[in-house]
């Protein structure tokens, strides 16, 4: 068997040159001659931070002082002892180099690379020597490389950004160049493992398991490519899964072979909520003709069939993910890199973030095209948790050149990553790009392009071909949004997948009801990060929604203006930073609740909602549900409610109000519905009951009688709709026009073995009661939020992670305990 050896020790780092243009800051004097201990895997920024040489780029406005790092060339060097082991080959294997690298071993050039998204293997036997060896990897400034290529190929249109950066001229995580939620931190470094691999005779170069289910039979074709040191050696290849074993001979000279296995009646893998996630070990082994083991490969796989249903119908064409024959309504979220420095993201963090997604009933994550093909641990967690993964190829919001060297890099990167990720049953869809076809249609690109390439060849040809040749078990779709044809607008409501951004950017979330997309792959609303996260990152005195640090942690064009204009139709203008923080967060939760309830009520025609976005890469005001310090924003709690597989909602339809029961599960849902129209004061003005019967994976509408649905005083009444153990409320006016009573709450703090309980008894009607545990202790979290109580009702919150005892007085009011309208009490009534 071959032998692997990590080369992760004793690295140091030096700045070697400033590749910057245009008067950018040069290397600070203190760093110019410094030799810094380097972590491998890792990156320059985190090493400089660990050495105390730069301030934390995530804090205050530090990011802006650190632009020089991305404009500098960096040299990584290590020495290691090596003794010849008598093997045929010794390869240097680099799982990930970020990005423009020159590798030298003992002073001899080994290779140059220019793609963060690929791995590399080089035969270095001739450069190694017994005893001490020196390995040097020098990174050219990615910024300078991209700017040079842009100058060479000519600029291409990108997003409507105030600071256009050349991210489309380099195969590197695009959002490192800044995004409307991310800072500009252009990294460099050995971001994944780097190792020596010594091997003999032959090795497994690539294993592509084609896994599907036909007629109840699990079919696995392990398609293998072999790398030979000995061209003439006879080899055997075996593969085994679920006790079924197959073997083929690989004749001398042959470099590929396939083992086909059939597993009768395997347990099927399902997204959560639809079934279990059984995983089977697939073991592939390569041996010499005499039976000596040479190499092995193992991966957990899952048996499931997937297709994308895009069948034309009377209203357009569908976009439905069908797993094991069952059309799935995707309750999704978009995923961005969880850190600007992705080498910091390990298996535990991936697992925790995906668990947060699952806990909010999210069953699909879309890995967005401005980030990375995520690390194995991401997909492993998705396999285990039953979360479907839609993977974008890495193109976002810009025209991309189809010329050399980008074209060759794109194809190589696609071939490698499609093969790398195909063992994962969670991966169900490959998508060509994010918003580039839309950009071509609507963002004025065509005039600027004047006939030059922009990526169409990738999306319609290259990537489609790579998926079809490498992994024909998975569907490919050219873009998001895309209608399926260049004759139909890419963002057409009736076809394919859609993004809705006019709500946030120009209009109001009320316009969500003007759309019934077939599959909504992006829509979102901003809100600030949690208070603990904001105040860890920003130390402005005084802190305000527009103080310098807060503004630097708001990257969207006119983001604060949009937050304010988005509040105006719904809430009174907040006057303190604490009220701004609470009300903008609440409005974010309201916006997505409003949209998702509407879209899910059209289940059937619409078969998915993928919110923008689950997570953040640093502390920032953004569309995320979970902030950059992993804390859950009110939106997360709202998602857990509206993504409940069984949801009851009230929707205006045809001049009246309908109760809609939505059932994503495989069992019928039958419940008695009780509708009450109540005054905020508690009086019941009308009551009506009905039966709600919802078939599996279906919706049912029940019309509320007009007299029940019509208020006497729109400002002070609420419809309370109970369906079995689910409840929802409907209001006849916006918050700013509602006459909420001043909340009267009896609060009790009860220490408890699993945390601290806060029991809140409402003497008045209280809407969207929220307890902000992070205001008490940054380490604390609360189990629930946005709870509506009728007079006389009680709710108990559980706070976990408190590092100190808290008192009733601390908990009982703002800023810890908040509710809708509590900051809007007219000044005359305020205490
Ligand atoms: C879409 C996304 C992202 C962006 C988001 C918010 O355009 O694809 O590029 O961050 O909207 O503006």
Which residue's CA is the nearest one to ligand 1's atom 4?
A: 180
Other Cβ atoms closer than 10 A to 654? 7
For residues 540 and 550, the answer to whether their CB atoms sit within 8 Å is yes
Q: Which is higher by pLDDT, 773 or 160?
A: 773
- Average pLDDT rounded to a whole number, residues 586-592: 98
Q: Where in the chain is the domain with CATH 2.60.120.260?
A: 3-196
Q: Are 487 and 286 in contact (CB under 8 A)?
A: no
Separation of CA 660 from chain center: 30
Look at the domain 3-196 and name its fold.
Answer: Jelly Rolls (2.60.120)
- Options 2.60.40, 1.10.3470, 1.10.150, 1.20.58; CATH for 745-829 is 2.60.40
Q: Tell me, in angstroms, the distance from the centre of ligand 1 to residue 485's CA.
A: 23
Which atom of ligand 1 is least distant from the CA of 179? 10
Q: Per residue in 453-475, pLDDT tens?
A: 999 999 999 999 999 999 999 99
Burial environment of residue 38 by CB neighbours within 10 A (0 to 12, 13 to 18, 19 or more): buried
Q: What pLDDT does 723 receive?
A: 98
In the prediction, which pLDDT does 23 show? Answer: 52
Digit-coded pLDDT (tens) for 415-425: 999 999 999 99
When pLDDT is averaged across residues 322-346 and rounded to a whole number, the result is 98
Catalytic residue among 435, 522, 597, 717: 435
Q: Let me know the angle formed at the C-alpha of 252 by 246 and 256, rounded to the nearest 5 degrees.
A: 50
Is the predicted pLDDT of residue 163 greater than 70, yes or no? no
> Token match 């189990």: residue?
783
Tens of pLDDT along 611-644? 999 999 999 999 999 999 999 999 999 999 999 9
Check residue 19 and give its pLDDT: 57
pLDDT tens column, 173-200: 999 999 999 999 999 999 999 999 999 9
- Indicate the pLDDT class of residue 754, thresholds 50, 70 and 90: confident
| CATH of region 315-527+589-640, choose from 3.40.50.300, 1.10.357.10, 3.20.20.80, 3.40.50.150 | 3.20.20.80
The mean of the pLDDT values for the chain is: 96
Q: Do 470 and 208 meet the contact criterion of CB atoms below 8 Å apart? A: yes
Is residue 460 within 8 Å of 453, Cβ to Cβ?
no
Distance 639 CA to ligand 1 centre (A): 19
Nearest atom (ligand 1) to Cα of 370 = 9
Q: Which atom of ligand 1 is nearest to the CA of 434?
A: 8
262 included as an active-site residue: no
Instruction: Give the length of the chain.
Output: 831
Q: Measure 522 CA to ligand 1 centroid, in angstroms.
A: 8
* Residue listed under structure tokens 């029991």: 759
In the chain, residues under CATH classification 3.20.20.80 are: 315-527+589-640
* Assigned architecture for domain 646-733: Sandwich (2.60)
Closest CA to 740 of 761, 764, 706: 764
820 token code pair: 């809708």
User: Is 538 in contact with 523 (CB distance < 8 Å)?
Assistant: no
Note the pLDDT of residue 159.
75
pLDDT exceeds 50 at position 523: yes
Q: Which of 429, 758, 359, 458 lies closest to 607, judged by CA?
A: 429
Query: Ligand 1 centroid to 287 CA: how many Å?
Result: 49
- Which ligand 1 atom is the nearest neighbour of the CA of 524? 6
Amino acid 29: pLDDT: 87
Residue 829 reports pLDDT greater than 70: no
Q: Show the ligand 1 pocket: residues with CB < 6 angstroms.
A: 179-181, 370, 396-397, 434-435, 522, 612, 623
By the 8 A CB rule, do 658 and 703 touch?
A: yes
What 8-state DSSP symbol labels residue 268?
B
Instruction: Give nearest CA residue, ligand 1 atom 6.
Output: 180
Count Cβ atoms below 10 Å from residue 405 Cβ, excluding itself.
13
Atom 9 in ligand 1: which residue has the minimum CA distance?
397
DSSP states of 248-260: EEE-TT--EEEEE
Q: Cα dist. 288→237, 239, 252, 275 in Å?
A: 9, 15, 11, 42
Residue 162 has pLDDT above 50, yes or no: no
C-alpha distances out from residue 274 to 325, 417, 445, 475, Å = 12, 28, 43, 21
Task: Give the distance, in angstroms, between the CA of residue 710 and the centroid of all CA atoms in the same chain.
Answer: 42
Q: What percent of the chain has pLDDT over 90?
A: 95
To test the ligand 1 pocket, which listed residue (180, 332, 336, 523) has its Cβ within 8 A of the most ligand atoms?
A: 180
pLDDT > 60? residue 683: yes
Closest atom of ligand 1 to CA, residue 180: 10
pLDDT band at 830 (very low <50, low <70, confident <90, very high): very low
Six token digits for residue 150: 């842009």
CATH 2.60.40.10 is the classification of domain 201-301: yes
Residue that has been written with the tokens 């279990």 in this structure: 276
Residues 6 or more apart whose Cβ sits within 8 Å of residue 790: 678, 682, 720, 762, 765
Q: If you measure from the C-alpha of residue 178 to the centroid of ligand 1, how many angstroms do you get, rounded to a whole number? A: 12
- Every domain of the chain with CATH number 2.60.40.10 lies at 201-301, 646-733
Report d(CA 487, CA 803) in Å as an integer: 60
C-alpha of residue 309 to centroid of ligand 1, in Å: 26
Pair of tokens at residue 375: 């690390």
Task: Give, using CA atoms, the residue closest to atom 12 of ligand 1.
Answer: 180
What is the pLDDT averaged over residues 436-443? 96
Question: Is pLDDT at 403 greater than 60 in this prediction?
Answer: yes
Supply the residue whose CA is at minimum distance from atom 1 of ligand 1.
Answer: 522
Q: What is the pLDDT of residues 14-30, one digit of tens each?
A: 999 875 555 555 788 88
What is residue 1's predicted lDDT score, i.e. its pLDDT?
84
**Sign of the dihedral defined by the CA atoms of residues 366, 371, 372, 377, in that order:** negative
């Amino acid at each position: 068997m071959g032998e692997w050896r990590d080369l992760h020790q004793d690295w140091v780092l030096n700045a070697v040159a400033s590749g910057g243009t245009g008067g950018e800051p040069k290397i600070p004097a203190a760093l110019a001659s410094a030799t810094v201990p380097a972590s491998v895997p890792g990156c320059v920024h985190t090493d400089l931070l660990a050495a105390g040489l730069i301030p934390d780029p995530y804090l205050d406005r530090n990011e802006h002082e650190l632009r020089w790092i991305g404009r500098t060339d960096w040299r990584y060097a290590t020495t290691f002892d090596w003794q010849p082991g008598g093997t045929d080959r010794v390869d240097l294997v680099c799982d990930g180099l970020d990005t423009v690298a020159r590798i030298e071993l003992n002073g001899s050039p080994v290779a140059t690379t220019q793609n963060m998204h690929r791995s590399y293997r080089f035969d270095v036997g001739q450069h190694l020597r017994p005893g001490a060896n020196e390995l040097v990897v020098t990174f050219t400034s990615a910024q300078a490389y991209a700017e040079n290529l842009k100058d060479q190929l000519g600029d291409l249109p990108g997003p409507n950004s105030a600071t256009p950066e050349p991210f489309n001229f380099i195969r590197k995580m695009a959002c490192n160049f800044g995004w409307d939620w991310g800072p500009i931190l252009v990294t460099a470094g050995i971001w994944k493992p780097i190792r020596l691999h010594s091997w003999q005779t032959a090795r497994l170069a690539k294993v592509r398991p084609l896994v599907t289910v036909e007629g109840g039979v699990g079919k696995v074709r392990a398609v293998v490519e072999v790398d030979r040191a000995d061209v003439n050696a006879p080899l055997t290849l075996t593969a085994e899964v679920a006790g079924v074993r197959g073997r083929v001979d690989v004749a001398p000279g042959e470099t590929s072979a396939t083992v086909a296995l059939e597993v009768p009646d395997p347990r099927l893998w399902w997204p959560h909520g639809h079934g279990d996630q059984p995983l089977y070990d697939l073991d592939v082994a390569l041996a010499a003709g005499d039976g000596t083991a040479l190499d092995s490969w193992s991966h957990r796989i899952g048996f499931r069939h997937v297709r994308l249903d895009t069948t034309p119908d009377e209203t357009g064409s569908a976009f439905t993910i069908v797993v094991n024959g069952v059309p799935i309504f995707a309750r999704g979220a978009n995923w961005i890199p969880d850190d600007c420095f992705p080498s910091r993201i390990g298996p535990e963090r991936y697992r925790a973030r995906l668990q947060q997604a699952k806990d909010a009933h999210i069953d699909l994550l879309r890995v967005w095209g401005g980030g990375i093909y995520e690390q194995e641990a991401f997909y492993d967690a998705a396999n285990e948790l039953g979360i479907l993964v839609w993977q974008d190829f890495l193109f976002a919001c810009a025209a991309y050149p189809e010329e050399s060297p980008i074209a060759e890099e794109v194809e190589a990167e696609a071939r490698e990553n499609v093969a790398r990720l195909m063992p994962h049953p969670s991966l169900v869809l490959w998508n060509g790009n994010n918003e580039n076809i839309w950009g071509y249609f609507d963002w004025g690109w065509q005039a600027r392009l004047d006939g030059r390439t922009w990526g169409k060849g990738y999306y319609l040809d290259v990537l489609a071909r790579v998926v079809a040749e490498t992994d024909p078990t998975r569907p490919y779709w050219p873009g998001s949004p895309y209608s399926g044809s260049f004759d139909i607008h890419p963002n057409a409501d009736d076809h394919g997948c859609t993004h809705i951004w006019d709500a946030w950017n120009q209009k109001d979330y009320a316009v969500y009801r003007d759309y019934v997309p077939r599959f909504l792959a992006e829509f979102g609303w901003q809100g600030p990060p949690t208070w603990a996260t904001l105040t860890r990152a920003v130390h402005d005195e005084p802190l305000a929604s527009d103080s310098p640090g807060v503004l630097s942690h708001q990257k969207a064009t006119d983001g604060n203006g949009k937050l304010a204009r988005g509040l105006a139709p719904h809430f009174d203008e907040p006057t303190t930073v604490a009220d701004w923080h609470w009300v903008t967060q609440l409005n974010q939760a309201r916006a997505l609740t409003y949209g998702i309830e509407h879209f899910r009520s059209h289940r059937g025609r619409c078969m998915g909602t993928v919110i923008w976005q689950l997570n953040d890469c640093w502390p920032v005001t953004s569309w995320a549900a979970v902030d950059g310090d992993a804390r859950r924003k009110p939106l997360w709690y709202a998602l857990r409610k509206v993504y409940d597989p069984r949801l009851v909602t009230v929707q205006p339809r045809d001049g009246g109000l309908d109760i809609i029961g939505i059932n994503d599960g495989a069992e019928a849902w039958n419940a008695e519905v009780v509708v009450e129209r109540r005054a905020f004061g508690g009086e019941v003005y009308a009551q009506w009951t009905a039966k709600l019967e919802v078939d599996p994976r279906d919706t049912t509408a029940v019309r509320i009688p007009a007299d029940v649905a019509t208020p006497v005083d729109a400002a002070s009444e609420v419809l309370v709709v109970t369906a079995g153990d689910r409840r929802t409320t409907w209001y006849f006016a916006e918050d700013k026009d509602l006459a909420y009573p001043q909340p009267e709450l009896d609060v009790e703090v009860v220490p408890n073995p699993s945390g601290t309980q806060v029991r809140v008894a409402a003497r008045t009607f209280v809407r969207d009661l929220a307890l902000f545990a992070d205001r008490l202790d940054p380490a604390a979290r609360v189990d629930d939020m946005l709870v509506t109580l009728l007079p006389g009702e009680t709710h108990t919150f559980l706070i976990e992670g408190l590092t100190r005892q808290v008192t009733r007085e601390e908990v009982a009011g703002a800023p810890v305990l908040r509710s809708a309208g509590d900051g809007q009490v007219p000044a005359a009534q305020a205490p």
